[in-house]
Copies of this chain bind each other. A is one copy, B any other.
Amino acid sequence: MTVSIITIGDEILIGQIIDTNSAWMGERLNEIGASIETIYSVSDTKEGIVDALKVALQKTDVVLLTGGLGPTKDDITKKTIAEFLDTPMEFHEETWERIQTLFKRFGRNTTPAHREQCYMPASATMLLNKRGTAPGMWFEKNGKIIVSMPGVPAEMKYLMAYEVLPKLQQTFPGKPIFHRTILTVGEGESRIAAKIATIESNLPSHIKLAYLPGLGRVRLRLTASGKTNEQLEQDLEAQVQAIQQILPELIYGYEKEPLESAIGHLLKARGLTVGTAESCTGGLLGHQISSVSGASSYFEGSIVAYSYRLKEILLGVLPDTLLQCGAVSEETVLEMAKGAIAALGTDIAISISGIAGPTGGTTDKPVGTIWLAIADKEQTETLKLQLGKDRQRNVQYTCVAGLNLIRQFLLKYYPLENVNEGLIQQEKSV
């Protein structure tokens, strides 16, 4: 089954809203084995809709439209589809009765615009929308399927889940597609590609590999189709294991697990607590660690010491260290980490001090110089980053590096015996 999605509305074209509907639909469709060929965002004009419909119907079996159904003037989707499919508009009594009942229940009066809304293309099968007043519409013509849904996310999601996806599965009882995603941190796309080059070039023809790079992270996505469900799962699992054997130190999780949640699992499995001492990141690392539901079992808190004064008072950094080595130095971040363990009473603390930019650099320490340290009561590790001039990017990247530093520290100094951590993570995230 091949599918096109058409999103209707000027507000997406001019960037007023971000099209999150299509991503949600794409994910659901992908899960049932549909292949999404193209997503179109078009203006709410007759020409915009018709042009996209024509191209989409040439290319795919199914066209799903969202947006452009509603009581206001600029919603012309319905009429355009009716004209395009050469079917008249008819008053749909059932929809009108439903709207009247709903309005009565909320003690409101209907307006002539609401009655107008009940004229529907005659050839449409109506899909009951329990989240709103505008029903979905299902059309079949020349072996193709066209479905039109409201653009309000809750209404679209309801119609997809309870009407459209089941009907599509009935109509196209097709071949399944399986995905597995391996999440890595700490190396760039090309280095990972070099490391798994042999695996990649020996992939069986029914499995594809894609690299999805992000800030400091790369996701490896394996896609398989064309065999039985069991075979696909087995074949994907074999590839996942092969990659895991080559990149064990880079893999932090699988599928959609956030890095901070993976760190949480590692801390929980060891019964350890963590805190942060931050300067240039202003508390973002602590926020990220705390953003996982249930983080209170391993995250105690943070001290953000932006000024020299607070680095001394709250974290016990020695005035001499600041004077001689500066706030952005290995010596200072080490004292910050040790000081944070003392102040926060945690097992482990991580510290960050750097010049996030865009100004504030010197010849010795240009903008983008960032020092991190991690410590427990005995061991310490430090890391120096040399980043660019973009303040926000530097801070974001530093937090990814910080989370990875915690991960590496735990794996190095707190190994779990007889446990394949990669497999634990995999189990937790699948």
* Chain A residues with a Cβ under 8 A of chain B: 10-20, 22-28, 30, 36-44, 48, 51-52, 55, 59, 70-74, 105-106, 111, 113-114, 131, 152, 154, 179, 181, 189-191, 193-194, 200, 209-213, 219, 221, 276, 278, 281-291, 293-296, 299-307, 309-310, 313-314, 343-345, 357-359, 386, 388, 390-393, 395
A304, B307: Cβ atoms closer than 8 Å: no
Tell whether, in the assembled complex, residue A72 and residue B290 are in contact, meaning their CB atoms are under 8 Å apart.
Answer: no
Residues of B within 8 A of A345 (CB): 309-310, 313
Nearest chain B CB to A148's CB is how many angstroms away?
17
Which 10 residue pairs across A and B have the least CB separation, nearest first?
Answer: A283-B283, A282-B290, A15-B27, A15-B26, A39-B41, A302-B304, A15-B23, A283-B286, A282-B287, A14-B30
Contact B291 A154 (CB under 8 A): no
**Is A191 a contact partner of B40 (Cβ separation < 8 A)?**
no
| Given A12-B39, A282-B291, A283-B285, 19 other A-B residues pairs in contact with their CB atoms under 8 A | A13-B36, A13-B37, A14-B26, A15-B22, A15-B24, A15-B25, A15-B27, A16-B210, A38-B42, A39-B39, A39-B40, A73-B193, A111-B191, A131-B388, A152-B213, A282-B289, A282-B295, A284-B284, A293-B357
Contacts of A219 in B (CB 8 A): 16
**Is the pair A193, B48 in contact by a Cβ cutoff of 8 Å?**
no
Chain B hits for A19, CB < 8 A:
18-19, 22-23, 39
Q: Is the Cβ of A190 less than 8 Å from the Cβ of B114?
A: yes
> Which residues of chain B are within 8 angstroms of A388 by Cβ–Cβ distance?
131
Contact A189 B71 (CB under 8 A): yes
Alpha-carbon distance A36/B289, docked complex (angstroms): 40
Chain B proximity of A393: nearest CB distance (Å): 6
Q: Which residue of B lies closest to A14 (CB)?
A: B30
A74 touches B194 (CB 8 A): no
How far is the CB of A399 from the nearest CB of chain B, in Å? 9
**Chain B neighbourhood of A393, CB < 8 A:** 131, 154
Copy count, this protein chain = 2
Complex contact A301–B301 (CB within 8 A): no
Closest chain-B Cβ to A263's Cβ sits at a distance in Å of: 14
B-chain residues with CB within 8 Å of residue A111 when the two chains form the complex: 190-191, 194
Select which of B48, B209, B306 is within 8 A of A37 by beta carbon. B48
Cα distance A293–B290 in the bound complex, in angstroms: 25
- Decide if B303 touches A307 in the complex (CB within 8 Å): no
A287: B residues at CB distance < 8 A: 281-284, 287, 304, 395
Given the complex, which residues of B lie within 8 Å of A105, measured CB to CB?
A: 386
A304 in complex: contacting residue of B41, B74, B106, B283, CB < 8 Å: B283
Q: How far is the CB of A14 from chain B (nearest CB, A)?
A: 4
Asked whether B189 lies within 8 Å of A72 as measured between CB atoms, the reply is yes
A15 to B: closest C-beta gap in Å: 3
Are A344 and B310 in contact (CB-based, < 8 A)?
Answer: yes
Shortest C-beta distance, A162 to chain B (Å), equals: 13
CB <8 Å contact, A190 and B40? no
A287 vs B392: C-alpha distance in the bound complex, in angstroms? Answer: 11
Neighbouring B residues of A301 by C-beta, 8 Å: 303-307, 310, 314
In the complex, which residues of chain B have a beta carbon less than 8 angstroms from the beta carbon of A72? 189-190, 193, 211
Find out whether the CB atom of A38 lies under 8 angstroms from the CB atom of B40.
yes
Residues of B within 8 A of A55 (CB): 55
CB contacts (< 8 Å) of A27 on chain B: these are: 14-16
Q: Which residues of B contact A25 (CB under 8 A)?
A: 15
Minimum distance in angstroms from A353 CB to a CB of chain B: 12
Cα distance A390–B252 in the bound complex, in angstroms: 25
Q: Which of A18, A299, A359, A386 has the most CB of B within 10 A?
A: A18
